[in-house]
Amino acid sequence: MDRYDRKTAESYYEASKNWQIEAPELRGHQQADVVVIGGGLTGASTALCLAERGVSVALLESRHFGWGASGRSGGQIISGYAAEQSTLEKLVGVETARELWDHSIAAVEFTRSRIQRHNIKCDFEQGYLHVGVKQRHAAELNAWAEHMDKVYGHSILEYHDKSQLAEILGSDMYVGGVSDPGSGHLHPLNYSLGVARAAGDAGAVLYQNSPVLRVEKLGSSSQVHTEQGSIRCDSVVYACNAYLDRLNKDLQSTIMPVGTYIVATEPLGESTACSLISNNAAVSDTNFVLDYYRLSSDHRLLFGGRVSYSTLEPRQLSASLEKRMLRVFPQLAGTRIEFSWGGFVAITRNRAPHIGRLADNHFFAQGFSGHGMALTGYIGSLLAQAVIGEQDQLDCFEQIPHKSFPGGPAMRMPALVVAMAYHRMLDHL
């Protein structure tokens, strides 16, 4: 697992977190109604929603809470999925695609309401801007906004041409874009820690530094084993995502860990920061190997843009990301990079999330493909409902077909490295 860990402590989020969760290692033999494996947003949200309903739930985190992707991401809280709606329409049909879209809208609102309800101080800001660097990208974005209005009734999207974008962004790199005022961004580590803390406050029993070694099925119940202990339970929720490893081979075959990386500048000052992104929106472009960025509450630019399909960190990571940043904002030449960090997210072959159940009392959610900050917390609430039979809304997600990556763990990475090179070439055409 260490091959997936790029010095999380070096992240800007770690340096600016508001608190940390104190929780023991699991020792001895315990019992609970439900065991949730994975202390990121999916797992913490599932545990919180179960505990609020009076369910006895144990939340197991292999490292410390907030260590994984939920605590190091770009922090974008946006509607939709990594898979385009047009892709989902082909996979499941328009009617189910509409249902999936409605869930994504609900996920953004769920995030806002949870922040307010639990008083989670995580610097939430409204606004998202999707931009294109070529005319064909701009045309595709305009067509997408029209399609979302016509087919999904999502009328709040607004297209901006190059001159209009120039009033928002201090960059002349983009030729068109679509703004989504309903989406936004936040400090992901403070949000993730806030959800985990709320789960503990609601009665969930939290354990950290407790990697799960195996899950043993015992008739209608299960035994979840760690190195120092175990928990007997009625239901199990797998919320491990990129860090599932070999815990469940069926789930492992449908996801692939992909490295994503971010840098943070020194504080720029309010005036300079505002000149870069005047409306303080989160921004990403349409390239397959995309750039994404936003401002922090203390007026830094957080800029992400490198990915790795090989589990190896790109060489000269900080300098490489700085170069990409200066392509967008050349006026930042000479600005000091104070933080660089990265970690892994899990992708699926079709980039749609993989959510469902393995058996009547085993559930899972994974493969958000870099688009999970809003969805994961929301999906946790749906998993909790399904576990206790309160209301099962997983059906539309279970209709999404998922295939294993070809070649198994040994060959899927080389194959994706080749595919990555191909898509990088397409970005330049």
CA distance 21 to 63: 11
Query: Any idea what DSSP says for residue 313?
Result: P
CA distance 352 to 401: 9
pLDDT, position 314: 74
Q: Is residue 140 part of a domain?
A: yes
Q: Give the domain range for residue 100.
A: 2-419
Q: Is residue 427 part of a domain?
A: no
Q: Is the dihedral of CA 186, 188, 194, 198 positive or negative?
A: positive
CA distance 365 to 330: 40
Q: Is residue 425 part of a domain?
A: no
Smallest Cα–Cα separation from 355: which of 332, 380, 331, 373? 380
Helix, strand or coil, per DSSP, at residue 395: helix
Smallest Cα–Cα separation from 125: which of 308, 317, 349, 280? 280
Q: Is residue 338 within a helix (H) or strand (E), and if so which, with residue range? A: strand 337-347
Question: How many C-beta atoms lie closer than 10 Å to residue 143's C-beta?
Answer: 12
CA distance 58 to 7: 27
Q: Is residue 310 part of a domain?
A: yes
pLDDT, position 6: 44
Cβ burial of 24 (10 Å; 0-12, 13-18, 19+) is exposed
Q: What residues form DSSP beta bridges with 339?
A: 264
pLDDT along the chain (429 residues), means of 10: 49 96 98 98 98 98 96 97 97 98 98 98 98 96 97 97 97 97 98 98 98 96 98 98 94 94 97 98 91 98 86 80 96 97 94 94 97 98 96 93 82 49 42
CA distance 335 to 182: 32
Name the residue with tokens 């806002």. Answer: 112
In single-letter form, the type of residue at position 406 comes to P
Q: Torsion angle of alpha carbons 319, 325, 331, 336, nearest 10°? A: -40
Q: Is residue 426 part of a domain?
A: no
Q: Is the dihedral of CA 246, 248, 253, 259 positive or negative?
A: negative
Q: Is residue 203 part of a domain?
A: yes
- Total tally of structural domains belonging to the chain: 1
Could you tell me the CATH number of the domain that includes residue 273? 3.50.50.60
b or e along 160-179 (b: 16 or more beta carbons within 10 Å of the residue's beta carbon)?
beeeebeebbbbebbbbbbb
pLDDT, position 311: 67
Q: Is residue 42 part of a domain?
A: yes
Residues 6+ apart with CB under 8 A from 84: 144
Smallest Cα–Cα separation from 88: which of 351, 372, 347, 284? 351
CA distance 132 to 329: 15
Name the residue with tokens 């919180």. Answer: 48
Token couple for 237: 């929720």
Task: Tell me if 39 sits within 8 A of 156, measured CB to CB.
Answer: no
Crossing angle of helices 188-202 and 41-52, in 10° steps, is: 30
Q: Is residue 384 part of a domain?
A: yes
CA distance 171 to 104: 30
CA distance 174 to 96: 33
Distance of CA 130 to the CA centre of its chain: 17
In single-letter form, the type of residue at position 303 comes to F
Helix, strand or coil, per DSSP, at residue 171: coil
pLDDT, position 308: 80
